A and B are shown apart, each in its own frame.
Chain A
Amino acid sequence: MNRLIIVFLSIMLSSVFAYADQHIPNLGKKATEFKDEGEKAHKREGMSHAASLILQRKMHPELLMHKRDKTLRQGVRGGYIQLKKCIECHTSVDENDEYIPINSADQFCSTCHQKVGISLDCFSCHRTTPSKEI
């Protein structure tokens, strides 16, 4: 029984540490420029304060999923939740001035996804860099 309690407590504790690490190392080119503005940048794209916070943290799969179904199945276009807009600001640029795919190692999407061990399925079909030239 004691052993079980120890196991249980260590799992609890480790999950606390998992959340303690809020640092996102790679925001991407455009987003780093706006970094000091914080949520204002998202708000400028029309996102509510709440939505931007939620987006940054846990809800982004749900929001993207919800929007993908609306767009594809009902033809609802526009709005602030668009994968291409995420990619537009959050991709980095390498020394040759070319975009690095957002799903490659240590980029915006993959840093967290690597850490939590969740596979990233968007980019088996979706474009990984902004379509506009730098």
Chain B
Amino acid sequence: MKALNRREFIKTTTTTTAGVAIIASGITLTTYAAKPQESNPVTNEKRWGMLIDTNKLTETDIDDMIDACQEEQGWGSEILSTGDQKSGWIKKIKVKDTATDRISNLALMCQHCEEPPCVDVCPTNASMKREDGIVLVDKHLCIGCRYCMMACPYDARSFVHEELTNQKEHMPRGKGTVESCTMCVHKVDKGEQPACVEAVDSDAVIFGDLYDSNSKINQTLKKIQSTQIRADLNLNTAVRYSGI
């Protein structure tokens, strides 16, 4: 065995010490931090979507959906904003076919596009799409330029025109930033359904994973005819409608 000279001795000990220190500190941190588990990042193996059957959806259902959304997310109680300045995450829309005069009612909210124009145009990456297809506004980065509102084909986004207090804990909202339907991402991450879906008793609104062939939404979409609003824009929305 070769005798160690001084330089090599220092080299070996330093490496060993550093190695041990790194591993040991890692162990300490993990033992302490282990208790409250963080959930795993969402992946693109899922894509959350919604199917709204306008034949089954009554007008009261739509009102209930809107109320539930306001209750859950805390919008709609703006005092100073007037008319079109008020937030509207989900709207009741009544359309008439110009040829047949057939009237249908539907709830319109952020359609959570696969190719969202709002995300394309946002200069600061504040408009973003999660891996599982939910489109959100990162209000930490939003500078309030409102270009996303210009780009959205569904009039789905609102700008907060006044100072707000008493927001919901899970839904920070503030003056000068843009907001829209989050598909109740805080509930979905807990394995629950969006508030508006829970508010409807019938199966007029189905929520689920579009990719999962065992999910109700996937199977229903395979069976019945459905459509996307402004399908001509090729945005591949996650909210689908049948009966219009």
User: A residues bordering B, Cβ < 8 Å?
Assistant: 43, 45-51, 68-70, 72-80, 84, 101, 124-129, 131
Contact = CB atoms under 8 A, between A and B. Distances in A.
B168 A79 contact: no
Contacts, number: 82
B138 A72 contact: yes
Contact of A75 (B28, B33, B132, B172): B132
5 smallest beta-carbon distances between A and B, as pairs = A48-B32, A125-B174, A74-B41, A125-B172, A46-B35
Secondary structure at the B interface, as helix, strand, loop or mixed, is: loop
B202 to A, nearest CB: 29
23 contacts: A45-B36, A46-B32, A47-B33, A48-B33, A50-B32, A70-B41, A73-B130, A75-B42, A75-B132, A75-B185, A76-B38, A76-B40, A77-B39, A77-B189, A79-B37, A79-B38, A80-B36, A124-B175, A125-B177, A126-B172, A127-B167, A127-B168, A131-B169
A60 to B, nearest CB: 15
Categorize the interface residue count of chain B: 35 or more
Interface of B: 28-29, 32-33, 35-42, 128, 130-132, 136, 138-140, 165-169, 172-177, 185-186, 189-190
A98 B28 CA distance: 40
B39 A76 contact: yes
Given A80-B35, A129-B166, 17 more contacts: A45-B36, A46-B32, A50-B32, A70-B38, A72-B136, A73-B128, A73-B138, A74-B130, A75-B132, A76-B41, A79-B38, A80-B36, A84-B169, A125-B177, A127-B167, A127-B168, A128-B165
